[in-house]
């Protein structure tokens, strides 16, 4: 049987980006909690226009350098503040209301996989990000759980998400179900 490209069900990251695009307007502020190679920071910077601003965190200098280069190539470096600190310290650096936040968990693609996001700091940062979100703001978490430690982090994020009061926020999941192994998936939260 031949395989066909899908036309109606986007992959996890394209779907996550669609949600972020829908949540953001010109002039908004947004968070990339895990800048990595800067793909998500760039998308956010494109969405918020010249009057908006992005706060992007990473603990690895090479990740922030890659993010800076990506923004610079697009001429958008002035739209983002790159923060060399753990997202666990989010509220020390960011005090403005956010319309969107993205967490792309796991390790830096192309790196040695020794620096990965961790359950306690991730959940702490998620809670801080939700506090900073404005009404109708969207928080997107892309979860990779195939690597060492990934399952514990997945469980911590699932526990945090499922305990959210539905009066305060709605949480949804977008996940491939008919694939072997632990494929990445997305949780998204909209603040009421």
Nearer to ligand SAM, 89 or 171 (CB): 89
CB of 3 to ligand SAM, least distance (A): 27
CB of 56 to ligand SAM, least distance (A): 9
Q: Which residues bind ligand SAM (CB under 6 A)?
A: 34-40, 57-60, 63, 86-88, 104, 106-108, 115, 117, 121
Nearer to ligand SAM, 5 or 155 (CB): 155
Nearer to ligand SAM, 81 or 136 (CB): 81
The residue of the chain with the least Cβ separation from ligand SAM equals 36
Helix (H, G, I), strand (E, B) or coil at 58: coil
CB of 57 to ligand SAM, least distance (A): 4
CB of 46 to ligand SAM, least distance (A): 13
Nearer to ligand SAM, 2 or 14 (CB): 14
Q: State residue 36 phi and psi, 5-degree precision.
A: 55, -125
CA distance 31 to 28: 10
53-57 sheet: strands from edge to edge: 80-83, 53-57, 29-32, 98-104, 133-143, 185-191, 169-175
CA distance 155 to 68: 32
Tokens for 7?
Answer: 């036309």
Q: CA gyration radius for the chain?
A: 16
């Amino acid at each position: 049987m031949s395989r066909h490209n899908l036309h109606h069900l986007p992959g996890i990251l394209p779907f996550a980006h669609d949600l972020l695009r829908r949540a953001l307007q010109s002039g908004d502020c947004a968070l990339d909690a895990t800048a990595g190679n800067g793909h998500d920071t760039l998308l956010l910077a494109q969405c918020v226009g010249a009057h908006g601003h992005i706060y992007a965190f990473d603990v690895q200098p090479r990740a922030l350098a890659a993010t800076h280069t990506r923004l610079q190539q697009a001429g958008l470096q002035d739209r983002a503040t790159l923060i060399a600190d753990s997202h666990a310290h989010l509220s020390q650096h960011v005090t403005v209301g956010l319309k969107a936040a993205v967490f792309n968990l796991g390790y830096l693609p192309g790196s040695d996989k020794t620096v990965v996001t961790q359950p306690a700091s991730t959940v702490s940062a998620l809670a801080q990000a939700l506090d900073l979100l404005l009404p109708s703001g969207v928080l997107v978490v892309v979860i990779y759980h195939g690597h060492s430690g990934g399952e514990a982090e997945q469980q911590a994020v699932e526990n945090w998400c499922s305990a959210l009061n539905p009066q305060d926020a709605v949480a949804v999941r977008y996940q491939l179900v008919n694939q072997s192994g632990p494929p990445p998936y997305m949780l998204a939260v909209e603040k009421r």
